[in-house]
Structure 1
Amino acid sequence: MKYILYFTLLISAHVFAKPINNSTAFYYSAPMPLAEMTFYSRVVVQPELITEHELNWLTQRNIAVYAYLSVGESFEKNTSSLVVNPNWNSHISDLTSTYWHKHIKNSANDLKERGFTGLFLDTLDSYQLLDTTSNKADQQAGLISIIEDLSSSFDKHLILNRGFELLPKLKGFATDLVAEGLYSHYSPLDNSYKLTAKSDQTWLIAQLNTAKNLGFNVQVIDYAKPKNRLAMAQKIIKNGYAPWITDGHLQTWGTSNITPIARRILIPYNSDIKPLIYTTVHLKLATMIEYLGYIPDYIDVAKRALPLIDPSLHAGVISWTTSDAFYTPAITNWLETNLGAVPLLVMGELPLSTTLLIKLGVEALNVLPPAPYELNYFAPWFKGEAATPPPIVKPYLLKLAPNATALINIKAADGKIVVQSAKTKYGAVVVAPWLIDTFPMEGSKWVIDPRTLLTKAMELPPILVPDTTTESGRRMLTLHIDGDGFSSIANFTGRPYSAEVIRDEIIKRYKLPLTSSIIQADIEATGLHSKASPKLERIARSIFDLPYVEIASHTYSHPYFWTALSGRKKIDEDDTDYGFHLDVPGYDTISLKKEITGSIKYIDEKLAPKNKKTVLMLWSGDATPGPKALELARDAGVLNINGGNTDANADNPSLSHISPIGRPERDLLYQIYAPILNENVFTNLWHGPYYGFKRLTETFEITEKPYRLKPYTIYYHFYSGEIPAGLDALKHNIDYVLARPNTPVHLSHFAKIAKDFYFSALAKNNDDEWLFSSKYIRTLRIPSDFDIPNIAQSEGISGVTQKGDYVHIINNIARLNFDHSQNNSKPYLASANVVIDNWQVNGAVSFKAWVPASLDLMNGRECQFTSHSGERFKGITHGKLTHFKIPMGDFYGYLNCAGTAP
Structure 2
Amino acid sequence: MRIPAPWRIGSNTDWQSIVIDQAQPDWPAFFAEQVIAPLWTRGYRGFFLDTLDSYHLVKNADVAAQQAGLVAVIRLMRTRFPGIRLIMNRGFELLPALRGEVFAVAAESLYRGWDAKKKRYVEVSQADRDWLLGQLVAARDQYGATVLAIDYVAPTDRALARATARRILSHGIVPYVTDAALETTGVGLIEVLPRKVMFLYNARESARINASNAHRFAEMPVNHLGYVAEYVDVNGRLPEVVSAGDYAGVVAWFDGYVAPDRTGALSNWLAARIADGTRVAVFGSFGFQPAGSFVRAAGLDDAAPPKGALKVVSADALIGYESPALPERRGVEPIRVSAPGARTLLRLSDANGTHYDAAALTGWGGYALNPFVVRVLPGEDEQSRWIIEPFAFIREALALPALPVADTTTATGRRMFFAHIDGDGFPSRAEMPGRRLAAEVLLDDGL
Task: Provide the residue aligned with 1:193 in structure 2.
Answer: 122
Structure 2 CA distance for aligned equivalents of residues 185 and 674 of structure 1: 47
Give the residue type in structure 1 aligned to 2:124: L
Partner deviation per Cα, 1:778-820 (whole Å, 9 max, x = no partner): xxxxxxxxxxxxxxxxxxxxxxxxxxxxxxxxxxxxxxxxxxx
Greater Cα shift, 220-229 or 438-447:
220-229
The aligned residue for residue 136 of structure 1 is: 63
1:431 aligns to 2:366 (yes or no): no
Which digits, 9 at most, give the CA deviation of each residue in 1:341-369, with x for residues without a partner?
Answer: 2211111132336434444454444x543
Tell me the CA shift for residue 122 of structure 1: 0.8
CA distance in 2, matches of 1:151, 1:376: 74
Q: What is the deviation of 1:454?
A: 1.8
Mapped to 1, the partners of 2:108 and 2:148 lie a distance apart of 9
1:678 aligns with 2:391: no
2:383 is the counterpart of 1:443: yes
- Residue 287 of structure 2: which of 346, 351, 374 is its match? 351
1:244 aligns with 2:183: no
The partner residue of 1:725 within 427, 438, 444 is: 438
Q: How does the TM-score come out when normalised to structure 2?
A: 0.77
The residue that corresponds to 2:92 in the other structure is: 164
Query: Residues 334, 200 of structure 1: CA spacing in aligned structure 2 closer, same or farther, 3 A cutoff?
Result: same
**In the alignment, is the contact (CA less than 8 A) between 1:359 and 1:424 conserved in 2?**
no
The answer for the alignment partner of 1:410 in structure 2 is 348
Alignment partner, residue 315 of structure 1: 248
SS at match of 2:147: strand
TM-score (norm 1): 0.41
Pick one of 278, 292, 300 that aligns with 2:211. Answer: 278
**1:156-177: CA deviation from partner (whole Å, max 9, x where unpaired):** 3221111111223344653222
Amino acid of the residue matched to residue 380 of structure 1?
A
Task: Tell me what 2:402 maps to.
Answer: 463
CA shift, 1:303, in A, is: 8.5
**C-alpha distance in structure 1 between counterparts of 2:404 and 2:145, whole Å:** 39
Q: Which residue of 2 aligns with 1:80?
A: 8
Contact 1:360 1:423 in 2 (8 A): no
Matches of 1:358 and 1:203, distance apart in 2: 44
Amino acid paired to 2:271: E
CA distance in 2, matches of 1:288, 1:731: 38
Aligned-pair distance for 1:334? 3.4
Q: Give, in whole Å, the separation in 2 of the partners of 1:307 and 1:725.
A: 59
Q: Secondary structure at the match of 1:239?
A: coil
Aligned to 2:409: 661
Aligned mates of 1:296, 1:84 — CA distance in 2 = 41
Amino acid at match of 2:21: L
1:122 aligns with 2:50: yes
Q: Deviations over 1:67-119 (max 9, x none)?
A: xxxxxxxxxxx99372454xx46445133497987588644344334432221
Contact 2:202 2:254 (8 Å CA) reproduced: no
Q: Which structure has the highest strand share of the two?
A: 1
Distance 1:117 1:187, change over 3 A: same
**By how many angstroms is 1:444 displaced?**
1.4
CA offset at residue 438 of structure 1? Answer: 1.3
Is the 8 Å Cα contact of residues 195 and 247 (structure 2) preserved in structure 1? yes
CA contact (8 A) 1:293 1:463 kept: no
Match of 1:334 in 2: 269
In the alignment, which of 177, 180, 183 is matched to residue 105 of structure 2?
177
Partner of 1:382: 319
* Structure 2 CA distance for aligned equivalents of residues 394 and 185 of structure 1: 49
Per-residue deviation at 1:388? 5.2
- Superposed displacement of residue 412, structure 1: 3.1
Q: How many angstroms does 1:426 deviate by?
A: 1.1
RMSD, aligned CA: 4.1
Contact 2:323 2:385 in 1 (8 A): yes
Please state whether the residue corresponding to 1:267 is helix, strand or coil. Answer: strand
Distance in 2 (alpha carbons) for counterparts of 1:306 and 1:222: 23
Residues 120, 324 of structure 1: CA spacing in aligned structure 2 closer, same or farther, 3 A cutoff? Answer: same
Distance 1:207 1:675, change over 3 A: closer
Distance 1:211 1:369, change over 3 A: closer
Aligned counterpart in structure 1 of residue 148 of structure 2, from 202, 219, 223: 219
Distance in structure 1 (CA, Å) of the matches to 2:200 and 2:219 = 13
Aligned to 2:333: 396
Task: Give the distance between the partners of 2:320 and 2:232, measured in 1 at CA.
Answer: 29
8 Å Cα contact 2:271-2:298 kept in structure 1: no
Secondary structure of residue in 2 paired with 1:342: coil
CA–CA separation in structure 2 for the residues paired with 1:128 and 1:294: 48
Deviation at 1:726, TM superposition (A): 5.0
Residue 724 of structure 1 deviates from its aligned partner by 2.3
Give SS of 1:205's match. Answer: helix
Q: Secondary structure at the match of 1:140?
A: helix
1:530-566 CA distance string (max 9 Å, x none) = xxxxxxxxxxxxxxxxxxxxxxxxxxxxxxxxxxxxx
- For 1:449-496, what per-residue CA distance to the aligned partner results, in whole angstroms no more than 9, with x for missing partners? 11231234x15244133253xxxxxxxxxxxxxxxxxxxxxxxxxxxx
Greater RCO, CA 8 A, separation 6+: 1
Aligned to 1:95: 21
Report the Cα offset of residue 218 of structure 1: 2.5
Count of aligned pairs: 421
Contact kept in structure 1, 2:318 and 2:345, CA below 8 Å: no
- SS in structure 1 opposite 2:191? strand
Q: 3-state SS of the aligned residue for 1:406?
A: strand
Corresponding residue number in structure 2 for 1:577: none
- Distance of aligned partners of 1:107 and 1:388 in 2 relative to their CA distance in 1, 3 Å threshold: same
**Matches of 1:106 and 1:303 in 2, distance apart?**
41
* Aligned twin of 2:74: 147
Structure 1 residue 242, shift from structure 2 partner: 2.5
Asked if the contact 1:360/1:427 (under 8 Å) is kept, the reply is: no
Q: Distance in 2 between matches of 1:675 and 1:385?
A: 27
| Paired amino acid for 1:240 | G
Structure 2 unaligned regions, length at least 5:
1-5
Cα deviation, residue 433, structure 1: 2.0
CA distance in 2, matches of 1:431, 1:316: 18
Q: CA deviation at 1:436?
A: 1.3
Structure 1 residues 433 and 135, CA gap change in structure 2 (3 angstroms): same
Q: Deviation at 1:690? A: 7.5
| 1:192 alignment partner AA | Y
Which residue of 1 is the match for residue 189 of structure 2?
257
Using the alignment, how far apart are the partners of 2:426 and 2:91 within structure 1? 78
Seq. identity, %: 24
Residues 226 and 246 in structure 1, CA contact (< 8 A), matched pair in contact too: no
- CA positional deviation for 1:429: 1.7
